[in-house]
Structures are given as C-alpha cells and as structure tokens.
Amino acid sequence: MVKKWDIALIGILLCLSLLPEAIFVMSGAENSAETIAVIQVNGKEYKTIPLSEHTGTDKFTIYTNHGYNTVTVRDQSIAITDADCPDQICVNEGFISKPGATTVCLPHKVMIEVRSVDSSEPDIIPAH
C-alpha cells in the first residue's frame, strides 16, 4: 500500500534529480564557447578559421604531394567536401562544428579539428 509520505518522497527525489539539468540550462553553458577550426597538413598548422563568427559559405582547396582536399566552411561548420583519395571517408564524414570534433584524410595527411577558444574548459578529458 502506498502512503502519502511515499508519494511525497518520490516527488522530492524527482525534483532533485532534475536540479543539475536546470542549473546547466540556466547558466547558458551549452553554446557559450567560441570555436575555431584548426587545419593541419602533414602535422603542421596550415590555417585557422574562426567558426563561431563565420557566416555564409567559403571554399578553398588544399594541395599536397598526395592529392587535394576541397574544404567548405558553411556558417559555423566545416567539412571536406571533395578529395581525390580512393576511400572518400573524409568526404563522407560531413560537417563538424562542436569542440573536439575532427575530420581526417589519412591518404593526404590533412586533419581538421574544431577547438574551443575558451581555455578554461578543456576539449578533452585527460587520462591519468
């Protein structure tokens, strides 16, 4: 038999379980970070693009000794949209925009990584 104190306890526990989510939403932490896209070719930084400030669509092509990659920046996201590599995995990954997301073309040694400008919050969790 359910007593009135059991129902009250369930209600209190339910409200307490939603408290962290309410604090997170009210603090506005979801989209507060500025993002940049860092493009590396053969392990060296090639170009940095401020994604959070970007509007419209821009395209450019990266030529390497191994082939080419066409990069498209659309609003606040970035992708490799064309490449002459045989597997086309980098093209099929699509647009990325969240900090920590990467797109890699292994045959051409091209990597695009989205990073957060705010250095107080790391993009990854370090392993200890």
Q: Could you report the per-residue pLDDT of 91-116, keeping only the tens digit for each?
A: 999 999 998 899 999 999 999 999 98
Q: How many structural domains comprise the chain?
A: 2
128 belongs to a structural domain: no
Is residue 40 located within the same domain as residue 89? yes
Is residue 27 located within the same domain as residue 60? no
122 belongs to a structural domain: no
48 belongs to a structural domain: yes
Q: How far apart are CA 23 and CA 7, in angstroms?
A: 25
- pLDDT interval class at 65 (50, 70, 90): very high
- pLDDT interval class at 60 (50, 70, 90): very high
Write out the residue range of the structural domain in which residue 54 sits.
Answer: 35-116
- pLDDT interval class at 61 (50, 70, 90): very high
50 belongs to a structural domain: yes
- What pTM did the predictor assign? 0.68
13 belongs to a structural domain: yes
- pLDDT interval class at 124 (50, 70, 90): low
Query: Which amino acid, one-letter code, is at 34?
Result: E
